[in-house]
Amino acid sequence: MKITYDIIHKNLTTYSTAKVIFPAIEQFEKNEIDYSAMHSLGLGKFADFYMFLKSNKIQEFDPISNTKSFRVLKPIILEKTTTERFKTFIKNRTQKKFDSIFNDSDLFDRLLNGPWKSRPQMRRNGRMGYGTRKNERVEGFKTAIVPIINYIILNELEVNQRFVGQDSISNQTKWYVDEVLSFDKVPQKEIELTNKLLQTFSEVVDKERVDFRKLNINYVMSAISTKIKNAMKIPNGTQLKCIKELLAPNQDKLLEEGKLYEVFGTYERNGFLTVYIKNEQGGSSYYEYSYFEDVSMKRDDLLSMLLG
């Protein structure tokens, strides 16, 4: 197979666009919110991509570079490799022999992860053992995998399928091969409302000149949390209007846009509200509240309810 820049280009473009739409991404970059908050907002993959960019920036590697020359790449790998035996091995490779490594799954595996001391074997309980590896390896194949990928792409080299499937480098290679960022399923309106709430809260604090240093933070956080959770509750029997269609994996319609559904229960999942309703197939399940709108309450009324 051949790797191209198509997917990494899409990811970089999508990430840049998402930063404009979702302020939480920049807040994560500035360490103002943590990974769990990003995950709860549906932005976990964007947090992962930022960590990918950050780790390579520390190494002074760009996700897209002009590392095409073998003479430029070899010193980078040697610098990141500490095992002298394999350092000499890479140093003595001709470009042709070096290029062939990436299409030889067994050789690349041994150089990346270390030679086998004992291979995985089936255990008596029917499960496959892990096996053990020697500590010696080409450390540069893992640390400098991004310039290596650039070299492979720019020289249009064939790579074995197992090259991109290596666990030890998958957090890097996936952004070039199969992990495509998308905010189609990110609850954009809900995040906008949250940001509006925080902005309004900040304006109130500035206007009233509240000195938080004189307050009990545990009481304040508990009171705010309780008030928000109470505002999220939906009484059983409430009629919700579906605002976007939902299909099952087999393309059967589960929720019909514009139709009213009765709420039989609610549940908070990953920080978001879900409602228990009967779907178009006659079954009942929990669905994200983002698929619905309370016909008796406008979204912005939540702000008035919370802030008065």
Q: Domains in the chain, ordered, with CATH?
A: 6-177 (no CATH), 188-307 (2.30.30.40)
**pLDDT at res. 165:** 85
CA distance 7 to 153: 12
Give CA–CA dist 74/84, Å, rounded.
Answer: 15
Beta-bridge partner residues of 241: 260, 293
Residue 186, pLDDT above cutoff 60: yes
Per DSSP, which regions of the chain are E strands? Answer: 116-118, 132-133, 239-242, 246-247, 253-255, 260-262, 265-269, 272-278, 284-288, 292-294
User: What pLDDT is stored for residue 294 in this prediction?
Assistant: 83
Q: End-to-end distance of the chain based on CA atoms, in angstroms?
A: 60
pLDDT digits (tens, 9 = 90+) for 128-164: 777 788 889 999 999 999 999 999 999 999 998 888 8
DSSP secondary structure letters along 192-221: HHHHHHHHHHHHHHHHHT--GGGS-HHHHH
> One-letter amino acid identity for 219?
Y
Report the chain's mean pLDDT, rounded to a whole number: 87
Put simply, whether the predicted model's pTM sits higher than 0.75 gets the answer: no
pLDDT of 211 over the 70 cut: yes
Residue 138's identity, in one-letter code, is V
Here the contacts of 17-21 (C-beta below 8 Å, separation 24 or greater) are 18/43, 18/46, 18/181, 18/183, 21/183, 21/188
Mean per-residue pLDDT for 198-205? 72
pLDDT of 302 strictly over 80: no
Model confidence over 83-115: pLDDT tens digits?
999 999 999 999 999 999 999 989 999 999 998
Q: Does 39 score more than 90 pLDDT?
A: no
- Look at residue 23 in the predicted model and tell me its pLDDT: 86
d(CA 152, CA 1): 11
Is the pLDDT score of 120 beyond 50?
yes
Residue 245 has pLDDT above 60, yes or no: yes
Kindly state the average pLDDT of the residues 228-241: 84
Q: Is the pLDDT of residue 304 over 60?
A: no
Q: Can you give the pLDDT at residue 220? A: 78
pLDDT confidence tier of residue 268, bands split at 50, 70 and 90: confident
Q: Which of 1-15, 37-51, 171-185, 227-241 has the highest mean pLDDT?
A: 1-15
- For residue 287, is pLDDT > 70? yes
